[in-house]
Amino acid sequence: MSTTSKIKLGIGLLLICFTTSLFAQTVPKDDMASSLYEVYKEKGVKEALKSYEKNNVNKNYEGLAEPLNVLAYRLMQEDNDLKGAETLFLAQIEEYPEEANPYDSYSDVLLEMDKKDEAVKYIEKSLAIAEKTNHEENDLIIEAGKAKKAILQNKDKQLNFLVGNWDNETKIFQNGEEVNNSKSSNNISFDTGGSIMIVDHDDGNDKPCCKRVMVYNPVDDNFDVAFMNRNQPNGINNSTMSLKEIEPDHYEMIERYTNNEDEMVEVKHDIMKKADQVEWITYNSSDSGWEKVRTMNLKKKE
């Protein structure tokens, strides 16, 4: 089972936990999903499905608490029966083709089967339905779907070309003129388990000065950033960074944060990736447009 698949199943199980809480007051203790599970254990998934079709008198869609939905996830979690779960999810899609969650649930078992491309299609189908229909759980389905899709597309790893040890030559500009330059170093690492990039900055004397922690947010498709500077008493500065690829090896990142005057500030980062080098130009927003304030020439250490 791949790490990505485990993440997807975890999201699916999170939906089930949410369902348990949401419907705790309305679903009987001895509910249909439990009865169907007993049939499954004795006679298999096909007989459990026949029992459902025969005994399901409530034709109203019950969202995440649908018996086939709950049963299928149980088969995935407790019995590792992916084919059985697939059968149930497909039956749920056939029964409720206009609902979002059956498609999202089916994408989870496809991911467990390592059928990534097919899973993405069902995630997109689920999102398209959820965004135009009104059900209580659809906000959760949208968040889960966007998160799965973003992580499957490796959006959390878009900046992984920065991982490594770098020499950093920095130049500071005011009104278009260079006013200062310095040399330092950066050590950049990536935690695959948490989609977290950590940037450790050293000063020109190889002494630690500051740290930047970037956590990918798949729902908003941006990075939540915390910057800590030991030479400044202001504590942690928080911002968000939205990244887009302009062309191969050329990225633009818009950083947003609130300053001490409670004003929203935007900063643009223009990033060019080369062989063992990165050119990073930073611009501040001004009344006349973007004003260059800093350049960083990063060269990877041998």
Distance CA 119, CA 131 (A): 18
pLDDT of res. 233: 65
221: left (phi over 0), alpha (psi -120 to 50) or beta: left
Predicted TM-score (pTM) of this structure: 0.70
pLDDT of res. 28: 41
Domain boundaries, the chain: 3-153, 157-300
258 has pLDDT over 80: yes
Average pLDDT of every residue of the chain: 87
Report the percentage of the chain scoring pLDDT > 90: 66
186 has pLDDT over 90: yes
Q: From the CB of residue 222, how many other CB atoms can be counted at a distance below 10 Å?
A: 21
Condensed to tens digits (0 to 9), the pLDDT of residues 55-83 reads 988 888 888 889 999 999 999 999 999 99
156 has pLDDT over 60: yes
Average pLDDT over every residue of 166-176: 95
pLDDT of res. 268: 97
pLDDT of res. 205: 77
Q: Give the domain 3-153 fold.
A: 1.25.40
Average pLDDT over every residue of 273-301: 94
Residue by residue, DSSP assigns 151-218 as HHTTGGGTTGGG-EEEEEEEEEEETTEEEEEEEEEEEEEEETTTTEEEEEEE-TTS-EEEEEEEEEET
Per CATH, domain 157-300 is 2.40.128.20: yes
259 has pLDDT over 70: yes
Beta bridge partner(s), residue 216? 223
- Supply the angle between the helices 138-152 and 101-112 in degrees, to the nearest 10: 30
In single-letter form, the type of residue at position 53 comes to E
Distance CA 135, CA 287 (A): 44
Condensed to tens digits (0 to 9), the pLDDT of residues 89-122 reads 999 999 999 999 999 999 999 999 999 999 999 9
Distance CA 101, CA 24 (A): 19
Which position has the higher pLDDT, 3 or 62? 62
